[in-house]
Structure formats: structure tokens, C-alpha cells
Structure 1
Amino acid sequence: MKYEPENSDENNIAVIEEHVYDWLQKLEIINFELVLYKSYLQDHNCLKSVDKKSKINSILSCINEQIEQNKFHLRTCLFYKNRVSKIRECDDIECETTYLEAHSLFKNRLQYHFKQIKSLKHQIISKDLAFSALKIE
């Protein structure tokens, strides 16, 4: 027999609050990492040839775009965090379902953002290795 919690509403809210807390942490870390990569690549760019500078400038442009996207998601997540408490005020299933669907949509958007950031980080690292004298085996 499967255990059913007595108050699944409270469990849903706890899960949502945990997600929001995790997302905020990830977004703050991403913000720090992007600024760090940007600074590093700008310093690194000064030492390179014109051809390599254009490639680094392209990555810097992507970093700037993702910094803005990340700031947007961070602001949205903070706003969302403040709205989670309104779920407790729902009197019917339809109201709660609306919040749960919004949570699912927001979660999917953030997961897509996290995938884009991961891809950008791989691109930065691979380009940096290509431009450096490091030999990683």
C-alpha cells in the first residue's frame, strides 16, 4: 500500500519552495561564473592575434547575452518566490492547479536556461584550451 501524505498541499508547497531556493542559488552562482569568465576572456583577449580576438569577441558577446538572461531569470525567480505563499490561500483545486502549472512552466524555462549556460561554459572552456598552450590529455 502506497503512503499518501495527509496534506499533499503542504508537500507541494514545500517542494516548490525547495525548487525556488535551489534555482536562486544556481542563478547567483551562474551570475558569478559568467562575470568571471567575461573578465578572464577580456584579459586573455588582449594577448591574442586579430583572428583569435574575433573568436573570443564572439564568445564575449554570448556571455553578455547570457548575463542579461540570467539577470532576468534571477529577478523573475525572486518575484516567483514571493508568490509561492499565495498557493496556501487557494480554496479549490482549480486555483492550486493554476499555480502548479505555472510552476511547471517556470521550471521548464529555467532548465532550458541552465542547459544554455552549460553549453556556453563548454564552449568557453574548449575555446580557451584551443587558444592556450595547455596540453590536456
Structure 2
Amino acid sequence: MKYEPENNDESTIAVIEKHAYDWLVNLEIIDFELLFYKSYLQEYDRTKTPGKKNTLNSLILNISEQIEQNKFHLRTCLFYKNRVSKIRECDDLACEQIYLDAHSLFKNRLQDHFKQISLLKHQIISKTIAFSALNID
């Protein structure tokens, strides 16, 4: 899938740099949220019955796996963000296209990751509501 530039080279580079910055910020927020959810559920798990513990343990394991996945994306995004400026050094369209294609691929991978995190958050909230005395209409 080829990346289609929007306008001129400078605006394309600015868009790519903005994407990289936004992704890095989102990944850092997700990192904090997942650590918070895991800590909260581990504390909550200590007070529950064995049947509920199994469900929570499975959810905590899933969160742990996503924490590792998010850390991978965070490291990759930081590396990517630092390399985006290299596109300014390209002398021809073939060189630029390599960076643009990499951007498109990375964007798709992060969008998939963000969808997985969103689904996990919904799962966390639904389990927390189910196991607590909260009554949300």
C-alpha cells in the first residue's frame, strides 16, 4: 500500500512528524493506563472469590501481554520519530517513497494496536462493573 502525499514535500514531512509525535504521546498514555488497570485489578483480585479470581487473572494476564506489546510499539515509535527527519535528506522520489511506505505500514500497525487496546479497555470496564456493586445504566 503506497502512501499518497497530500501536498508538497514540506507539508508531507510535517504531517509525518505530527503523526509520529501523536503516536508517541498516545503510546505513553496507554502505558500509564495499562499499568494503572493492572495494579487496580490486582488489588481488587485479592478480595474476590476463587471463581471471580480466575476471570480477573485471565484479564490481568491479557493486560500484562498488552503492556509488553505497547512497550515494543513505544520503543519502535521513538526510534521511528527520530528517523523521520531523514526524509529531508532524500535526493529522489524513490528514497522518499521508502520512508512514505514505511510510514503507511507503521501507521496501520499502530492503528491495529490502538484498536486492541480499546477492546481491552472495554473488557476491563465490563468485568469491573460485573464484579463490583456499581450499577451503571
Aligning the two structures, in what range does the TM-score lie when normalised by the shorter sequence?
over 0.9
Asked whether 1:25 is paired with 2:25, we answer yes
Asked whether 1:38 is paired with 2:38, we answer yes
Structure-1 separation of matches of 2:52 and 2:124: 13
Write the mapping of 1:91-102 to structure 2, written as runs, cut at 5 A: 91-102=91-102
The structure 1 segments of at least 4 consecutive aligned residues displaced by more than 6 Å after TM superposition are: none
SS at match of 1:14: helix
What RMSD in Å do the two structures reach over aligned CA positions?
1.0
SS at match of 2:109: helix
SS at match of 1:134: coil
Asked whether 1:120 is paired with 2:120, we answer yes
1:16-47 Cα deviation digits (max 9, x unpaired): 00000100100000000000000000000001
Write the mapping of 1:1-137 to structure 2, written as runs, cut at 5 A: 8-137=8-137
SS at match of 2:134: coil
In structure 1, give the amino acid aligned to 2:82.
N
TM-score norm. by structure 1 comes to: 0.94
In structure 2, give the amino acid aligned to 1:20.
A
Structure-2 separation of matches of 1:135 and 1:88: 55
User: 1:82 Cα deviation (Å)?
Assistant: 1.0
Relative CO higher for 1 or 2, CA cutoff 8 Å, sep ≥ 6? Answer: 2
For structure 2, the residue ranges without an aligned partner over 5 or more in a row are: 1-5
In structure 2, give the amino acid aligned to 1:98.
I
Structure-1 separation of matches of 2:110 and 2:93: 25
How many residues end up aligned between the 2 structures? 132
Aligned-residue sequence identity (percent) comes to 70
1:59-100 Cα deviation digits (max 9, x unpaired): 000000000000000000000011111100111111101100
User: 1:119 Cα deviation (Å)?
Assistant: 0.2
Structure-2 separation of matches of 1:71 and 1:82: 17
- Kindly name which structure, 1 or 2, has the bigger radius of gyration based on alpha carbons: 1
